[in-house]
Structure 1
Amino acid sequence: MKKIATALALSVTATAAFAHTGTGVHTHGFLSGFLHPLTGLDHLLAMLAVGAWSVRQQGARWLPLAFVGMLLVGVATGAAGLVVPGLETGIALTVALMGVLLAVAARLPAAPDVAMVGAFALLHGNAHGHELPHMASAIGLLLSSSLLVYGGSVLGRVSPALAVKAAGAVIAVTGVMLAATA
């Protein structure tokens, strides 16, 4: 329970996401890409939630890989200039949905799991790709994102089910609040 409380405390100290289009120009180095997922509440919570949720799913080993792989595809689409309509709202809703899935301990078949997590990652990656289109920043982003998903899976394994459900509820409410302000 202490680990979950610490993770939640750290997550609420993150600022609103600045990985989205129209929020300014960032440097394009490895460190900038690495820090991006750690400084945006929506990205931080989504990646931790994907990790925590994945350990209880049939496709557990594929979900983190699907997320990181599709995150890379999303970065490429953003760097290429593809604009996804409603991106901000879509990203916030991924946080809300992941929170709900955690809160209700939903178990889905492997194929829909992978497709859903992949679609979520595509949105998050696209947002990052608009602001961090260079290879060094993309590598930093992928490394940091992988660590967050892995960290979420560790929390999902070691935390009591009730703590994971409670964290899911907090993440869901946060996602709804983010969507309302998107």
Structure 2
Amino acid sequence: MTRQVDGKRTAAGGAGSSLLTLALAAVFVAGLPAIAEAHITQDSAGGFVHGFLHPLSGADHLLAMFSVGLWGAQMGGRSVWSLPITFPLIMVVGGVLGIAGVPLPGVEVGIALSILVLGAAIAFSWKPQEWVALAIISVFAICHGYAHGAELPIATDPADYAIGFVVATGMIHIFGILVGLYAGRLYNGKLARILGAMIAPGGVYFLMS
């Protein structure tokens, strides 16, 4: 009897914990559109702090970077670290293109698609070969990096600005990884898929807006 009661308590505690996680994630995702256009680009503000806050102030960038970490955790293996490391590195390439003013049409569409595609990949638990996943996120990283780079020259200290947003990007990736590793253990990974299904509509929202 005692073991059964303890087992029920353990099961109830696990269910409660997973429901709390899902609820917090729902609030997190649902609240992002409210800051969708809250990019910080005013006047002479710049440097590390400006760069650090920039990825955190735009829901489009935030969702995509979170999804990269979440997808990597869901895929497992080397992808847990290869995706989150590759994304900011390729972002630098896109940032250089943006700084140089190289024309790159469809950047905003690419950013919106990154949310839709990554969210859908997580929702369907798609686990392609690592090089395929890296190629996909690299294309999206170019778009996100370009958007950052196009704004970079207005910062008072472009180098510190770049360091700031790379650090923030890494932190968002790590958060996505941690959530992904935890969610992947619940209900045979269904919780992670639910998060992906919640993220994907954000891409549709940005495409339409």
Q: Is TM more than 0.5 here?
A: yes
Per the alignment, residue 139 of structure 2 pairs with: 119
| Structure with larger Rg | 2
Distance verdict in 2 for CA 1:112–1:38, change over 3 Å: same
Indicate which of 36, 39, 61 corresponds to 1:16: 36
Structure 1's consecutive aligned runs of 4 or more residues displaced over 6 angstroms after TM superposition are: none
Q: Aligned-pair RMSD on alpha carbons?
A: 2.0
The residue that corresponds to 1:30 in the other structure is: 48
Q: Which residue of 2 aligns with 1:162?
A: 190
Does residue 54 (structure 1) correspond to residue 82 (structure 2)? The answer is: no
Partners of 1:19 and 1:128 within 8 A in 2:
no
Return the letter of the residue paired with 1:78.
Answer: G
Equivalent positions of 1:41-80 (< 5 A) are 41-57=59-75, 58-60=77-79, 61-80=81-100
Matched-pair identity in %: 34
**Long gaps (5+) in structure 1:** none
Q: SS of 2:101's equivalent?
A: coil
* Cα gap change, 1:28 to 1:63, in 2 (>3 Å): same
Equivalent position of 1:97 in the other structure: 117
Which of 171, 179, 201 does residue 173 from structure 1 map onto? 201
Is the 1:37–1:43 contact (alpha carbons within 8 Å) kept by the matching residues of 2? yes
In structure 2, list runs of 5 or more residues that go unmatched: 1-17
Normalising by structure 2, we get a TM-score of: 0.79
- 1:138 aligns with 162
Deviation for aligned residue 1:122: 1.1
Q: Deviations over 1:51-87 (max 9, x none)?
A: 0100232541311111011111111211111232011
The Cα shift of 1:47 comes to: 0.6
Per chain length, whose mean CA-contact separation is higher, i.e. which structure has more relative contact order (CA < 8 Å, sep 6+)? 1
Task: Point out the structure with the larger helix share.
Answer: 2
Q: Deviation at 1:132? A: 2.1
2:21 alignment partner in structure 1:
3
Change (3 A) 1:72 1:18: farther
How far apart are 1:26 and its partner, in Å?
6.3
